[in-house]
Amino acid sequence: MIAKSIKASVDPEIDIFIDAIWSHKGLARLTLNAYQQDLSQFSKWLHTSKNLDLVSASQADIQSYLAERFRTGAAARSNARLLSTLKQFYQHLVKINRRKDNPTELIYAPKINRQLPSTLSESDIDSLLETPDLSSDFGVRDRCMLELMYSSGLRVSELVSLQISQVNTNLGLVRLTGKGNKERIIPVGEEALHWLSLYLKQSRSGLIRPGNTNDALFLSSRGSAISRQAFWQNIKKYLLKADIKTQYSPHSLRHAFATHLLNHGADLRTVQMLLGHSSLSTTQIYTHIAQERLQALHASHHPRG
């Protein structure tokens, strides 16, 4: 059985690996798709260039493939992700006795300059939240989604997959299942809670379509759960309408949530828990954004700045 109905690969070894890591780690479908795509491309290259299969690849074969990708313009981050996938795949083969050695063991990932995530200022957030047209059920839905994402730091995938049963408006809490099937409970701010209650009482019923009933919290024009791609398109539309010039991404509101908490005195461990990061080092990148903000404020307002 291919994990989460992912389309079968040409090489059955890939499908066995995908099923194994899904059952063990509970990874998201997008992550599994990325692993499968990386391995399928490498498998195709091996077959075409070396007349080999994945199980038979050597360290030299893998290094040749990485070098060819680099020559053809693959970014260091892309090659690092690929190498991470290959390391896990060959560890899996060793574990199930399909190989005695791991050919990636002595191959090291290229050094990557860590980029700070793009974020929005507090005034940008105010402008963005005021953009949806509240005269329509879709506008109220979008305002609610934006408020909830900014209030609680949800990933886009977590937001669009929310079910009604995961929201408790009386306690002001949302129960999430994030990366690796890890569950966390997140508080919802008063403003977001107001819009969530308004959406549930007045607007969601207007989005339900006959014969298409489900428990998804946020519904599309078809009455099914809104997709992450559709919501991202909505975010881009509202950012443009609000004339926000900052570079943005699907996670801009999540980044703003973390950065603004730190700017207002939240401690790093609390932000880590709210974001659902397994490692504190992942959360620490936001301290650099907060420090940049403090330096800018100092330069602007100190008499000898």
* CA-wise closest residue to 239 among 227, 257, 251: 251
* Catalytic residue status for 155: yes
Beta pairing partners, 187? 173
Mean pLDDT to the nearest integer, 177-204: 87
Mean pLDDT to the nearest integer, 271-293: 61
Tell me which of 141, 204, 251, 260 is the catalytic residue. Answer: 251
Q: Using an 8 Å Cβ cutoff, are 86 and 104 in contact?
A: yes
Tell me which of 92, 141, 204, 277 is the catalytic residue. Answer: 277
What are 54-94's pLDDT values in tens digits?
A: 999 999 999 999 889 888 888 877 888 899 999 999 999 99
* Catalytic residue status for 65: no
* Catalytic residue status for 184: no
Tokens 């109905």 correspond to 5
Tell me which of 47, 179, 228, 241 is the catalytic residue. Answer: 179
Return the pLDDT at 255: 83
Domains by residue range for the chain, with CATH? 3-95 (1.10.150.130), 122-301 (1.10.443.10)
DSSP string, 29-78: HHHHHHHHHHHHHHHHHIIIIIS--GGG--HHHHHHHHHHHHHTT--HHH
* Catalytic residue status for 24: no
Residue 78's contacts (CB-CB under 8 Å, 6 or more residues apart) are 69
Record the pTM: 0.59
Return the pLDDT at 270: 73
Tell me which of 155, 204, 255, 260 is the catalytic residue. Answer: 155
Residue 139 sits at the vertex; the CA angle it makes with 263 and 159, to the nearest 5 degrees, is 55
Residues found in the chain:
305
Q: Using an 8 Å Cβ cutoff, are 139 and 246 in contact?
A: no
Task: Please give the Cα distance from 59 to 299 (Å, whole number).
Answer: 52
Tell me which of 90, 150, 248, 286 is the catalytic residue. Answer: 286
Asked whether the CA dihedral 288, 120, 282, 114 is positive or negative, the reply is negative
What are 19-45's pLDDT values in tens digits?
A: 888 766 666 777 888 889 999 999 999
Mean pLDDT to the nearest integer, 208-219: 88
- Please, what is the average pLDDT of the chain? 82
Check pLDDT > 80 for residue 116: no
Burial of 268-290, coded b for 16+ CB within 10 Å and e otherwise, reads: beebbebbbbeeeeebebbeebb
Tell me which of 92, 143, 254, 260 is the catalytic residue. Answer: 254
* Catalytic residue status for 179: yes
